[in-house]
Structure 1
Amino acid sequence: MTNTVEDTMTTIATAEPVLQVEGLTTSFRVGGTWRKVVRDMSFSVAPRETVAIVGESGSGKSVTSLSIMRLLPKYSSRIEGSVRLGGRDLLALSDEEMRKVRGNDISMIFQEPMTSLNPIFPIGKQISEAILCHRDVSKAEAKREVLQLLDKVRIPNAMNRFDEFPHQFSGGMRQRVMIAMALASRPKLLIADEPTTALDVTIQGQILDLIKELQDEEGMAVLFITHDMGVVAEVSDRTIVMFRGDAVETGTTDDIFHRGNHPYTRALLSAVPRLGSMNGRENPASFPIIDIASGALTRAEEEGPDPAPHDQPVLSVQNLVTRFDIRSGLFSRRTGAVHAVENVSFSVKPGETLSLVGESGCGKSTTGRSITRLVEPTSGTIEVDGYNVRQLDPATLRKMRRTIQMVFQDPFASLDPRMTAGRAVMEPFIEHKLGSTARARDKAADLFERVGLSAEMMDRYPHEFSGGQRQRIAIARSLMLDPKVIIADEAVSALDVSIKAQVCNLLLDLQKDFNLAYLFISHDMAVVERVSHRVAVMYLGEIVEIGPRQAVFENPQHPYTKKLMSAVPVPDPARRSLRRDLMTDEILSPVRPAGYVPPQRQYREVSEGHLVQVE
């Protein structure tokens, strides 16, 4: 039977710690000298207890976990202090002894399962290997245990999926496979390093529930590493806040959230988007920003721009369909199609933000790429600032793209690593022959200042910037051609919470200054609530609900919209014992057989402009 929170806390308080870390200091050799990146960390984790280490990229939280596991490079790193697991000092063990500890007494789940799973072996074989390496059992016994583990982590149809490969699983299901592998040897301690950061909100909710349930069932201690304060509130008993290699505050999660003293703790909490914080408001609002050093409020919350009610749409999409043929057999005959976008219609006015939300695979990004014809639509009408996009020849299409620009999720992938940041921003201006190189440099310097960077940074290369700074460069580049529409495709999804708040504020400021229309593509419902005028919810390539942001968030009608909202982690420790009971099914496939004719969808109007698909 599952313990209550009170019973669990009593058990934790009286139990011997599974992990005891004292004075942990980790250094890296940089240019012949040792630089400390984690300084004097001390904490413990008891059976059934979850301790969260929270902080932004570069704070040292992942290095702490890798130091405990002794997974850092041997000759360029140095680990000092004491790390005791069940009375044994892990730092004093030989390499061979430590290999027996890893995966047996301590298991670790990493952020990106696709880089942790071997793509050429079936998942069943990979989990079996974890069992066979540490225990004296037969292959048949190992397979039976793997099937039980796959059932335990709620992977449907485990027997048939045993021989499938990692690429045949969705992101959420791959993370479940990693959890099954981590649990294969029944570890005393599970280290979860950002296990939900890259996942859709509903999948994230399922993984958090799963870890809670398995912890109750197995009695494990969990060390949970994240930068998401909403996740911290829902999973952790105690929290350690890290900033630039130091533990700046430690306490129960309730104390940290309600009585946090350090300015950095308060800055992290102030930047967390909270679902429901916009109730009663029509327009977007910026995030309040707190200075990390002083704890002073450096930017108060400000209401975003209100689009002019009578303006004509600058972007209009009618009955958009995008499908990708599936061919197979000796003659590559068309046997089916991926119905990525199916009969989608919407419009966006100058100064307005329309957000497309939904899980991975619902067609959000394909919609954005179809509008710019980075992907060729199958049918439908797209009008951008007077251009009929689908009828444009290559020369006119190139000219049209000056009006509509895209900002992608990963700026490091969209910036040329061999090109300076200044040159990357100047390039569109030069390629479109809009002026001289000197004029392009002047305009780029002005945009660098507008997006919160210094013009002196123009001569640096992408690797010399942080993730948030690279995203600012991508935004500056998108503004170089004076567009009227910007498609932001998961533009803040991979950013730390405070950087995410700053970039969202920047987008709102630029919208106010340039009267920009945004198509904001995201799966982060709390951010969408903050930045949107209107919201469209997509599922399996179709819009199932669309309307003013206030109407959709305060009165959601479609079951899928309600499911998305119920899955959002809320930064409230009172929800520690919550179980969402979300369905563990994967999102259904948009693949259809050749000749399939989709049904005609009907919509009912709930209130003015608020439409819901009739099931």
Structure 2
Amino acid sequence: MLLSGTSMEQGGGSVTPVLSVRNLSTSFRVNDEWRTVVRNISFDVAPRETVAIVGESGSGKSVTSLSIMRLLPKNSSRIEGQVFLNGRELLSLQEEQMRRVRGKDISMIFQEPMTSLNPIFPIGKQIAEALTVHTDISNADAKKEVIRLLEKVRIPNASSRFDEYPHQFSGGMRQRVMIAMALAARPKLLIADEPTTALDVTIQGQILDLIKVLQEEEGMSVLFITHDMGVVAEVADRTIVMYRGDAVETGETGDIFHRGQHPYTRALLSAVPRLGSMGERKLPLRFPIVDIKTGEQMPLADVTDTVGKGKTPILDVKDLTTRFDIHSGLFGRKSGAVHAVEKVSFDLFPGETLSLVGESGCGKSTTGRSVTRLITPTSGEVTLDGYEVMKLDQPTLRQMRRSIQMVFQDPFASLNPRMSVGSAVMEPYVEHSLGTKQQARDKAASLMEKVGLSADMMKRFPHEFSGGQRQRIAIARALMLDPKIIVADEAVSALDVSIKAQVCNLLLDLQQSLNLAFLFISHDMAVVERVSHRVAVMYLGEIVEIGPRAAVFENPQHPYTKKLMSAVPVPDPSRRRIKRNMSTDEIKSPIRPVNYVPPKREYREVSAGHVVQVA
């Protein structure tokens, strides 16, 4: 990688890079002082090349991309250095000149498409605007081009969806709309800032395939920003590893993966779960943790068998059904129902982890909320620690919930921002009148230590903690009532890869010491393989396959299970040119008419405890 100049050697000749960044530094004004968050970053992106910037939250990778695009607030930010796009220096351009560059010569896809799309305009009109601003084109021709772009990004029935609004599209389809908008003026460089982080694994696979195909067809260069090393291996020719504002390692992606030198690079790679690495192993396995300062792997204790075999299940669910009525028309008559959970049955033993996996909308979170009665199920039987959950009145329901607690995906949303974390952790104990405030304080302090935080942090507020620390606080709060079951609803999905590994290890440690049972809800198949005893795969509200983790992962039977597994990014750079050719269809709707009667399902046993739905 060049660190100076504006040309690079390729195939024996000199090639002018599409993007050339030299000594880029970005600072933000904080309390009348300038704080530098990106320091002296230099790199090139060649024609048709994909360069990945990888690092965890706070590493400066997104700030780097926003600095290149000049999208940071002028009053509170300062950008220094040089940025050349096809030889043209961008940082010295007037704002009006830069506005003409954005969208035409350089485009950007953001992580959350719903915040980037205007909810009150049809998507066709929004994409057409990107064309009419940058090119001399009639409205009729713009519409034709938009439909062509929508077809190019594999949106079914593109012409009929031109006038639809963002809320009428799924998350994956909205991301496709954003890609179509970014490609409208045929830019030379596409910056993709975490474009797949919030997506299900199958949708992520489709988007990665799509970017590869479009890059080949359009001849674009791509600057890909992510914290997922599996994604980096699949898309990037070269990789830049960032840590706390510095580029700590750069090189060919294969070299980074196989011969990474910096301790932080090795820490990132060690934390990436590899699907299929568990083999016939029956018990969960802790994630390896590498010391960021030394690059040495920390010692890990073995996981022992905690499952209470032969005992009565702590949770027994039979034919659980949860539906949400849909009302429409002038008088609000019932016109249909969302069949969110349909005749789901499973059990959970003390000390066991049962994972529910599937895409968004499959009913896994609704299942978790239904067994806790946070949502009232339509029918079925739920027996939890001796309680018949469906028949409980409010006082007994409150008592039952001491046995089962939830840890949600977003800990910041589950913690009161005006309440100190100590008060938040103590609150369940105090509300259930289990002891004095001093006893609550002592127990909270003990649990803070148990989840890897210190007791003196209890006076702080949620905003003073990182995402991983907030999730640890949420886990400590869930443990205050000494529950026997914890429902972890996408509890690690939003975390950086190394923090995810630490939190998963914490959950395994707590299971060992407290004999906890986990209902682990996730769409991340590689993490599920690592932490589970058994796995249940959900599709359109039904369990289509369930069994011991080794049986399901080593011998998947249902087509949907196979589809989920084939979509998981593999952290192997040799697979970079491989495309999965996955179906681009949206997940089917669970909405059914009023008189709909679900078909009776049949199941067959593949091996001991491994059951699959017969198609």
TM-score, L = length of structure 2: 0.98
Q: CA deviation at 1:35?
A: 1.1
Q: For residue 564 of structure 2, give the secondary structure of its aligned residue in structure 1.
A: helix
Q: Distance in 2 between the 1:56 and 1:337 partners?
A: 41
1:324-335 paired onto structure 2 within 5 Å: 324-335=324-335
Q: Distance in 2 between the 1:314 and 1:478 partners?
A: 17
Checking the alignment, whether the CA contact within 8 Å between 2:22 and 2:83 is kept in structure 1 is: yes
Corresponding residue of 1:533: 533
Q: Distance in 2 between the 1:12 and 1:365 partners?
A: 55
Q: Does 1:184 align with 2:184?
A: yes
Q: Provide structure 2 residue ranges, at least 5 long, that are not aligned to the other structure.
A: 1-8
Q: CA deviation at 1:13?
A: 7.8
Corresponding residue of 1:498: 498
Q: For residue 535 of structure 2, give the secondary structure of its aligned residue in structure 1.
A: strand
User: What amino acid does structure 1 have at the position aligned with 2:302?
Assistant: E
Corresponding residue of 2:476: 476
Q: Distance in 2 between the 1:304 and 1:421 partners?
A: 32
Q: Does 1:18 align with 2:18?
A: yes
Q: For residue 341 of structure 2, give the secondary structure of its aligned residue in structure 1.
A: strand
1:224-243 paired onto structure 2 within 5 Å: 224-243=224-243
How has the CA–CA distance of structure 1 residues 36 and 271 changed in structure 2, closer, same or farther, with 3 Å as cutoff?
Answer: same
Q: Does 1:48 align with 2:48?
A: yes
Checking the alignment, whether the CA contact within 8 Å between 1:12 and 1:48 is kept in structure 2 is: no
Checking the alignment, whether the CA contact within 8 Å between 1:287 and 1:301 is kept in structure 2 is: no
Corresponding residue of 2:597: 597
Q: Provide structure 1 residue ranges, at least 5 long, that are not aligned to the other structure.
A: 1-8
Q: Distance in 2 between the 1:235 and 1:532 partners?
A: 29
Deviations 1:58-94 (A, max 9, x none): 0000000000000111011111111000111100000
Checking the alignment, whether the CA contact within 8 Å between 1:283 and 1:306 is kept in structure 2 is: no
Checking the alignment, whether the CA contact within 8 Å between 2:104 and 2:185 is kept in structure 1 is: yes
Corresponding residue of 2:223: 223
Deviations 1:276-312 (A, max 9, x none): 1111200100001000011111233733534121121
Corresponding residue of 1:68: 68
Q: Distance in 1 between the 2:440 and 2:11 partners?
A: 65
Q: For residue 207 of structure 2, give the secondary structure of its aligned residue in structure 1.
A: helix
Corresponding residue of 1:421: 421
Corresponding residue of 1:516: 516
Q: Distance in 2 between the 1:37 and 1:12 partners?
A: 37
Corresponding residue of 1:4: none
Q: For residue 289 of structure 1, give the secondary structure of its aligned residue in structure 2.
A: coil
Corresponding residue of 1:205: 205
Checking the alignment, whether the CA contact within 8 Å between 2:303 and 2:512 is kept in structure 1 is: no
Q: Does 1:543 align with 2:532?
A: no
Checking the alignment, whether the CA contact within 8 Å between 1:355 and 1:522 is kept in structure 2 is: yes
Q: Distance in 2 between the 1:10 and 1:549 partners?
A: 47
User: What amino acid does structure 2 have at the position aligned with 1:44?
Assistant: D
Deviations 1:3-55 (A, max 9, x none): xxxxxx96798532100001001111111111110000000001110000000
Corresponding residue of 1:3: none
Q: Distance in 2 between the 1:306 and 1:384 partners?
A: 19
Corresponding residue of 2:79: 79
Deviations 1:319-354 (A, max 9, x none): 000000011111111111000000000000000000
Q: CA deviation at 1:413?
A: 0.5
How has the CA–CA distance of structure 1 residues 284 and 304 changed in structure 2, closer, same or farther, with 3 Å as cutoff?
Answer: farther
Q: For residue 282 of structure 1, give the secondary structure of its aligned residue in structure 2.
A: coil
User: What amino acid does structure 1 have at the position aligned with 2:229?
Assistant: M
Checking the alignment, whether the CA contact within 8 Å between 2:306 and 2:515 is kept in structure 1 is: no
User: What amino acid does structure 2 have at the position aligned with 1:554?
Assistant: E
Q: Distance in 2 between the 1:11 and 1:177 partners?
A: 36
Corresponding residue of 2:318: 318
Checking the alignment, whether the CA contact within 8 Å between 1:12 and 1:49 is kept in structure 2 is: no
How has the CA–CA distance of structure 1 residues 13 and 458 changed in structure 2, closer, same or farther, with 3 Å as cutoff?
Answer: farther
Q: CA deviation at 1:188?
A: 0.5
Q: For residue 298 of structure 1, give the secondary structure of its aligned residue in structure 2.
A: coil
User: What amino acid does structure 2 have at the position aligned with 1:213?
Assistant: V
Q: Which runs of 4+ in 1 moved over 2 A?
A: 9-15, 299-306
Q: For residue 297 of structure 1, give the secondary structure of its aligned residue in structure 2.
A: coil
1:51-450 paired onto structure 2 within 5 Å: 51-300=51-300, 302-450=302-450
Q: For residue 422 of structure 1, give the secondary structure of its aligned residue in structure 2.
A: helix
Q: Distance in 1 between the 2:515 and 2:302 partners?
A: 17
User: What amino acid does structure 1 have at the position aligned with 2:471?
Assistant: Q
Deviations 1:435-470 (A, max 9, x none): 111110000000000000010110110000000000
Checking the alignment, whether the CA contact within 8 Å between 1:357 and 1:364 is kept in structure 2 is: yes
Q: For residue 589 of structure 2, give the secondary structure of its aligned residue in structure 1.
A: coil
Q: Distance in 2 between the 1:75 and 1:360 partners?
A: 40
How has the CA–CA distance of structure 1 residues 362 and 14 changed in structure 2, closer, same or farther, with 3 Å as cutoff?
Answer: farther
Checking the alignment, whether the CA contact within 8 Å between 1:19 and 1:45 is kept in structure 2 is: yes
Identity %: 76
User: What amino acid does structure 2 have at the position aligned with 1:470?
Assistant: R
User: What amino acid does structure 2 have at the position aligned with 1:437?
Assistant: K
How has the CA–CA distance of structure 1 residues 232 and 428 changed in structure 2, closer, same or farther, with 3 Å as cutoff?
Answer: same
How has the CA–CA distance of structure 1 residues 304 and 208 changed in structure 2, closer, same or farther, with 3 Å as cutoff?
Answer: farther
Q: Distance in 1 between the 2:10 and 2:572 partners?
A: 21
Q: For residue 91 of structure 2, give the secondary structure of its aligned residue in structure 1.
A: helix
User: What amino acid does structure 2 have at the position aligned with 1:443?
Assistant: K
Q: For residue 324 of structure 1, give the secondary structure of its aligned residue in structure 2.
A: strand
Checking the alignment, whether the CA contact within 8 Å between 1:305 and 1:511 is kept in structure 2 is: no
Q: Structure 1 residues 296-305 or 70-79, which shifts more? A: 296-305
User: What amino acid does structure 2 have at the position aligned with 1:450?
Assistant: K
Q: Distance in 2 between the 1:171 and 1:567 partners?
A: 17
Q: CA deviation at 1:205?
A: 0.1
Q: Distance in 2 between the 1:439 and 1:12 partners?
A: 73
Q: For residue 202 of structure 1, give the secondary structure of its aligned residue in structure 2.
A: helix
**RMSD over equivalenced CA pairs, Å:** 1.1
Q: Distance in 1 between the 2:288 and 2:299 partners?
A: 5
How has the CA–CA distance of structure 1 residues 180 and 374 changed in structure 2, closer, same or farther, with 3 Å as cutoff?
Answer: same
Checking the alignment, whether the CA contact within 8 Å between 2:291 and 2:297 is kept in structure 1 is: yes
Q: Structure 1 residues 567-576 or 306-315, which shifts more? A: 306-315
Q: Distance in 1 between the 2:391 and 2:300 partners?
A: 46
Q: Distance in 2 between the 1:504 and 1:368 partners?
A: 19
Checking the alignment, whether the CA contact within 8 Å between 2:241 and 2:247 is kept in structure 1 is: yes
Q: Distance in 2 between the 1:506 and 1:533 partners?
A: 16
User: What amino acid does structure 1 have at the position aligned with 2:79?
Assistant: I
Deviations 1:511-563 (A, max 9, x none): 00110000000000000000000000000000000000000000000000000
Q: For residue 580 of structure 1, give the secondary structure of its aligned residue in structure 2.
A: coil
Deviations 1:106-141 (A, max 9, x none): 100000001101111111111011111111111111
How has the CA–CA distance of structure 1 residues 204 and 11 changed in structure 2, closer, same or farther, with 3 Å as cutoff?
Answer: farther
Q: Distance in 1 between the 2:256 and 2:212 partners?
A: 20
Checking the alignment, whether the CA contact within 8 Å between 2:22 and 2:41 is kept in structure 1 is: yes
Q: Distance in 2 between the 1:15 and 1:333 partners?
A: 66
User: What amino acid does structure 2 have at the position aligned with 1:480?
Assistant: M
Q: Distance in 2 between the 1:481 and 1:605 partners?
A: 38
Q: For residue 84 of structure 1, give the secondary structure of its aligned residue in structure 2.
A: strand
Q: Distance in 1 between the 2:209 and 2:444 partners?
A: 47
TM-score, L = length of structure 1: 0.98
Q: For residue 321 of structure 1, give the secondary structure of its aligned residue in structure 2.
A: strand
Corresponding residue of 2:561: 561
Q: Distance in 2 between the 1:434 and 1:468 partners?
A: 29
Q: Distance in 2 between the 1:27 and 1:239 partners?
A: 24
User: What amino acid does structure 1 have at the position aligned with 2:392?
Assistant: L
Checking the alignment, whether the CA contact within 8 Å between 1:304 and 1:508 is kept in structure 2 is: no
User: What amino acid does structure 2 have at the position aligned with 1:264?
Assistant: Y
How has the CA–CA distance of structure 1 residues 517 and 118 changed in structure 2, closer, same or farther, with 3 Å as cutoff?
Answer: same
